[in-house]
Amino acid sequence: MKGDTYQVRPSSFSRGRGNIFLVDLKTRSVLWSTYERPRNSTPDNLDKAAKTVISRLTKTVKH
């Protein structure tokens, strides 16, 4: 309606880059998390960051 004001919330995607969470869908509990910020958004750097995250998760699961 005319005169109504709406608050626009900023996207959290731009602030939270690098945070990775593994969440149980039923309980919404965070099972595991890590932080790995890529140097930039080039495919090579994103692949490197993904490999690092996978390595950390694999080490955690094995222990």
Cβ 48 vs Cβ 40: under 8 Å? no
The domain ranges of the chain are: 19-62
| Cα–Cα dist 17/35, whole Å | 9
Which residues, 6 or more positions from 4, have their beta carbon under 8 angstroms from its beta carbon?
none
Kindly state the percentage of the chain with pLDDT values over 90.
62
* pLDDT at residue 18 in the model: 87
Q: What is the mean pLDDT of the chain?
A: 85
Express each pLDDT in 9-27 by its tens digit.
Answer: 665 555 567 899 999 999 9
Considering the entire predicted model, what is its pTM? 0.67
